[in-house]
Amino acid sequence: MFSLPDTFLSVISIFVPVFSRPVWQHAKVLLTGAVLAPGTRTVASILRIMGKTDEPHFQTYHRVLNRAVWSPLKASRFLLRFLVAIFIPWWEPLVFGLDDTIERRRGKQIRAKGIYRDPVRSSHSHFVKVSGLRWLSCMLLTPMAWAQRVWALPFMTVLCASERFYEQRGRRHQLLTARAWQIIRVVSLWLPWHERVFVADSSFAVLEWLAQVQRLPKTSLITRLRLDAALYDPAPPRQSGQKGRPRLKGKRRPTLEAVLVDDATEWTTLKVEQWYGEGPHEIEVSTDIAVWYHAGKAPVTVRWVLIRDPQERFKAQALWSTNLAHTVEQIVNWFVRRWTMEVTFEEARAHLGMETQRQWNDRAIARTTPALLSLYSIITLMAHLLIEKGVSHVRSTVWYTKTYPTFSDAIALVRRHLWDHIHFSMSQQETDMVQIPRALFERFMDAMSYAA
């Protein structure tokens, strides 16, 4: 069996309890090959880069994904706890991002696919539909000191099957918010001692769902708020001897659209250190506490934050938090971290071969994409440990000067570390030329020739 560097083993060994001993040996090959392989991330491409093109029992590696008994949920729990232990001090709240993405897939045997709006190609004036699989991912949003920005690290990704998929099986369709609620409940059970803050876009601004989240201890949600939302004063205290049902709300307040143009609105200048990747930016904010209410729904008391740009570079928007103790600065800075989730999705497609896998088996489909997204976090963890040891590399040229490493530098650093551990050199390290085995040289040539 091939050997792996200690740094790499220290990261992937957290998954040992997830697999049986025979399956773990094959899972290590798939995991290592997924890091080293350029281009597509099929099982065949992984076996090629690992030098197993003559493996007579190649189907055993496919069975790790489509047949072997192991729990992706258990693997997510181990990965999350490791990420928290490495990156988050115990006294800081955990900030998680919830977002969905479409994996463009076709094929009659992919039964969970549906027709969705393509968020990348669509705009306010142009609507594009795409056939594929819808995934809901939960990521840990944490600042990375050596990258000087926030990184979104996926640890759990669940498949949100299409409505037709559930109709064919006689089951009720699970909405995106239902899946998100399951994720929040699971994360709360895994990390009960931490304060947990979830940030999401306006798709998750659903009244019933917000009421559920607000009832969870140490759990809060920050999302966008419609400017025309119906907001009310808190319900007045019940008087002694008062008859009838307790009031759920007070007097109706002006909409945030009216607050935005009201000359009496008090605005405060706030400097945001990282405004959607553009660096420091000054905005004006106004905040208050109100009750969001709709007939027949449970009311939710929230802190809303109205944001406008003095330079008028973006339209006014509103955020809210289910935790009334959150400050305006916390709400804005935590929500702005969301943009890094789109960066993670894009880099997973560019560098980890997301959407290039070819599984048709339902179990393999449900396991492969979450594994590739989690590989983003595994590579980040290993790069972090290497950089802490003083190993660093930032690819830079005379026409493009890069100060801080990006994910492309992180995966290159990890790949170089893995290749160096093979110990292929047969001559002194001080010489300008080294000798390597022909079999290894052929693997390099094959990888580079078919890199595209």
> Residue 338 above 50 pLDDT?
yes
Does residue 441 or residue 12 have the better pLDDT?
A: 12
C-beta separation of 359 from 66 below 8 A? yes
Number of neighbouring beta carbons within 10 Å of residue 233: 13
CA pseudo-torsion sign 48, 50, 54, 56: negative
Q: In which band, very low, low, confident or very high, does the pLDDT at 427 lie, cut at 50, 70 and 90?
A: very low
Q: In which band, very low, low, confident or very high, does the pLDDT at 422 lie, cut at 50, 70 and 90?
A: low
Whole-number Å distance between alpha carbons of 129 and 20 = 42
**Can you list the alpha helix ranges (DSSP code H) found in 195-311?**
207-215, 256-261
CB-hemisphere CA count at 13 Å for 123?
Answer: 2
Q: Report pLDDT digits (tens) over 352-402.
A: 999 998 888 889 999 999 999 999 999 999 999 999 988 877 877 788 888
Secondary structure class of 270 (helix, strand, coil): strand
| Residue type for position 144 | M
Question: Which of 255-269, 317-331, 412-426 shows the lowest mean pLDDT across its residues?
Answer: 412-426
Secondary structure class of 450 (helix, strand, coil): coil
Domain ranges, ordered by start, for the chain: 6-71+366-449, 225-237+245-324
Task: Look up tokens 């109100």; give the residue.
Answer: 290
| Pick from 21, 9, 8, 38: nearest CA to 449 | 38
Whole-number Å distance between alpha carbons of 346 and 65 = 24
| Pick from 130, 70, 142: nearest CA to 103 | 130
Does residue 332 or residue 125 have the better pLDDT?
A: 332
Mean pLDDT, residues 317-336: 94
